[in-house]
Structure formats: C-alpha cells, structure tokens
C-alpha cells in the first residue's frame, strides 16, 4: 500500500514509518518543520514534505495522523474529501500489535519510558529478540526509540493522551500509576482514571500499583542493583520484573539486565559539568515526576540542589499550578523558564512566573539564553543542577556544556 503519515517526525510516528517501510509499504510523510528526524527519514528513502499541503495525501491508500493533527489540518480535510481511509497513529500500532502472539503495553502517568526500556533490555538479554516501541531515545536500540525483532514479543509504551491506548488490547498490561494529567483532553480526574480502567478491562493480565476495580495483580516491590537512582526506578524495575517472570524469563537474567540498564535519554541523564557543578537533564513535566526526580537528586547529597524547570503546555500549568509550586519548593533554588506551548495557545493567560511567585526565592526568565546566563553566574562546585521539562529546555544543556 501507499501510506501517508501526517506528523511523520513525531516520537512514535517516525518509527511507525520505518516499520511500515520494512513491511514493504510505500511510505510518504509530512511535518510542520524540518528536523534531524525528518532528514533521517529522507535519507532512508521516505519522502517528507515540510508543511501540511492538501496534495500531499493524493494517491495514498491510507493516511495515518498523529494526535496533534486536528480535524482542521489541510491534509486531514483533503483525505476525508477524497474518501481515503484515515486512522490515528495509535490505531495503526494496534493493528501491527495483533501480528504478535505476546504483546506487552506499559501505561501510567509516570515511568512508562523507563519501564518499557527495562523490559526491552531484559527481553534482549534473554535472547527473545523483541520488537520494541518506546517514547524516548534508548541507547542500544538501533532505531533510537524502536527495535524490529524477529521474536514473538512486542513491547510498547502506551500513552494515555487523547485516550490513544484504547486501540491496544495487549496480552499483558502494566499500569504504573494514575495521577491527573492532560487537562486539555480529560475534563477531570474521574474521566482520566476511567480511561485507564477501560484500558485495563480490554487487556489480558494486568499488573498495577493502583486499585482500579478490575481484575489485576499487584506489583510486588523488590530491590534491585541499578545504575540509575531513585525509589521510583526501583518501582519501575519491580514492574518490569513482574512482567518478565510472568513471560518465563529467569530471575538471574532479569537482574543482570537491570544491573546494566543505563536509562533512556532525558531520564536523569548526566550531561556534564558547569563551573564544577554536575548537570543532569530529565523529561519530568508533571508535579509527581518533579517530586520523584528531586528526591532522587537529594540521594546524591549535593551541597546545593538547583532546578531549572520549563512547564509544558498552558493547560497543565493552569490546572496544576499549586502542585507545581509545592513540588519545586523541594529544591534549594527553583529557576522557572517560560512555558513551552507545544500544541496550545495561551487562552489561560498564564505564565511560568505564576509558579515562581508561589515559591520563596524562585527566579523567572523568559528565554533560554537568559536562563543559561544566570546559571553560569551562580553554578559552583558541589551543586547539582537539574534541567527539567518536556519542551525545548533540552537546548539549555547545549548552551551550558
């Protein structure tokens, strides 16, 4: 088939393109901007158009769109006008999953990427040659965030945004935690929680740390020798262990894989030093994640703990404003960078400064260069500086190291 992907440069769209190409389909795509991912796709023989043009879908047998491609997207409108079957990214992954006898989905508000990465490491160590789709970059995966294996196991990170995991019906599901998020899509916590309950009810065996009111196995919390810090990573490892044991992998193999697992990029990733201060980057963008990352950082006993945080989306910042302030107060100094808009307009009339005002001694900067200048001025030996957020704050490390 000829398959066109709208938003092909996305974190789970680009691997989908490679998988479809490997299966023998003719793949094309479009994306709002040029990026390194887009250039890699082009280099692999996948034509990618910059910008969203109606003619890009002409001749396609099927169109797959990212969740960010709304109904007013010109390509979505044209596909519907021409009667071309139009499906969501998650629905396409769901179709691919059904080709595998054993499918494992990892869901939850926090910890999905790390737990999926741990499972990938375990199944690879066990010689199971799994196919893997992960929502981050994992050293050791040839595609960075995906792996095409020849075994019967498919391990997938299952994202709840837009209720996209409703298309997955895995043999084994993991639900790590359920804390309210994505207020731009889920009206309240009960709606958010119901999405996870529905996902669990459509799955085979479910391992969870939550009481979801469905038939599930609680995850036994164990202790492991890990290279990555934090109680939350011990919990993630416990979830991975439970699934691997259920799938018949021996204890010794699991523990060996976990011991050598070094983590995904932007997950408590050491980036270098600034004036003798250690610089660590993390993808955390929810108050619960911030609390966990700050607690893990304290375990390293720095003389001073500084966090530079960029909130992600206006809706999340507005809905969880006080929770963000409470979580960030655990640092010795919180430096707030203006909100990363992502897919939104600021109809909430909110700023990262609204968080800073709620934290004693906190500072606020509108731009990354201003933030970098301030951190260069104050960083000293013995400090641990966390650069945290899901947006372009990752560029801050490049300005500092």
One of 157, 160, 289, 338 is an active-site residue; which one?
Answer: 157
- What φ, ψ does residue 85 adopt, rounded to 5°? -55, 130
Q: Residue 378 is encoded by which pair of tokens?
A: 């104050």
What is the rounded CA–CA span in Å between residue 114 and residue 100?
A: 22
> Which two tokens mark 92?
């396409």
Q: Which residues pair with 62 in a beta bridge?
A: 3
DSSP count for the chain of H helices, then E strands: 14, 18
Q: Are strands 48-50 and 26-31 parallel, antiparallel or unpaired?
A: parallel
Strands 304-309 and 333-337: parallel
Catalytic residue, candidates 113, 116, 208, 313: 113
The angle subtended at Cα 326 by Cα 322 and Cα 331, nearest 5°, is 140
**Residues facing residue 297 across a β-bridge:** none
Strands 269-274 and 131-133, bridge-based pairing: unpaired
Please indicate whether residue 202 is annotated as part of the active site.
Answer: no
**Beta carbons of 336 and 389 less than 8 angstroms apart:** no
Q: Helix, strand, or coil here: 174?
A: strand
Active site (annotated) includes residue 99: no
Q: Output b/e per residue, 239-248; b: 16+ Cβ within 10 A.
A: bbbbbbeebe
Q: Which of 75, 78, 112, 131 is catalytic?
A: 112
* 66 carries an active-site annotation: no
Collect all residues with Cβ–Cβ distance below 8 Å to 151 and sequence separation of at least 6: 123, 128, 129, 130, 131
Say how far residue 185 (Cα) sits from the centre of its chain.
Answer: 17
Residues marked active site are found at: 112-113, 157
């Amino acid at each position: 088939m000829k398959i066109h992907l709208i938003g092909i440069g996305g974190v789970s769209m680009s691997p989908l393109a490679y998988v479809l190409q490997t299966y023998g389909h003719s793949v094309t795509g479009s994306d709002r901007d040029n990026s390194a991912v887009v250039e890699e796709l082009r280099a692999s023989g996948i034509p990618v158009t910059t910008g969203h043009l109606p003619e890009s879908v002409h001749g396609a047998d099927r169109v797959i769109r990212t969740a960010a491609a709304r109904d007013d997207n010109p390509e979505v409108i044209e596909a519907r006008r021409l009667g071309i079957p139009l499906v969501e990214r998650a629905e396409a992954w769901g179709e691919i999953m059904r080709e595998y006898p054993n499918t494992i989905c990892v869901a939850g508000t926090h910890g999905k990427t790390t737990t999926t990465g741990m499972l990938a490491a375990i199944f690879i160590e066990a010689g199971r040659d799994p196919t893997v789709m992960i929502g981050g970059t994992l050293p050791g995966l040839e595609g960075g965030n995906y792996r095409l294996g020849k075994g019967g196991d498919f391990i997938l990170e299952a994202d709840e945004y837009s209720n996209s995991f409703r298309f997955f019906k895995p043999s084994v599901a993991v639900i790590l935690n359920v804390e309210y998020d994505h207020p731009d899509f889920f009206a309240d916590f009960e709606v958010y929680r119901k999405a996870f309950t529905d996902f669990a009810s459509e799955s085979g065996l479910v391992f969870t740390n939550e009481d979801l009111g469905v038939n599930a196995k609680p995850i036994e919390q164990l202790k492991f020798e890990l290279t990555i810090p934090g109680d939350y990573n011990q919990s993630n490892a416990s979830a991975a262990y439970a699934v691997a044991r259920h799938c018949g992998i021996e204890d010794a193999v699991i523990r060996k894989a976990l011991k050598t697992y070094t983590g995904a990029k932007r997950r408590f990733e050491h980036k270098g030093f600034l004036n003798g201060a250690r610089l660590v980057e993390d993808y955390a963008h929810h108050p619960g994640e911030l609390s966990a990352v700050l607690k893990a950082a304290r375990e390293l006993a720095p003389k001073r703990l500084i966090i530079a945080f960029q909130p992600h989306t206006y809706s999340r910042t507005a809905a969880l404003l006080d929770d963000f302030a409470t979580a960030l107060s655990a640092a010795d100094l919180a430096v707030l960078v203006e909100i990363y808009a992502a897919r939104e307009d600021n109809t909430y009339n909110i700023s990262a400064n609204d968080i800073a005002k709620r934290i004693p001694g906190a500072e606020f900067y509108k731009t990354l260069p201003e933030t970098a200048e301030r951190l260069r001025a104050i960083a000293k030996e013995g400090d641990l500086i966390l650069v945290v957020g899901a947006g372009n704050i990752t560029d801050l490390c490049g300005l500092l190291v």
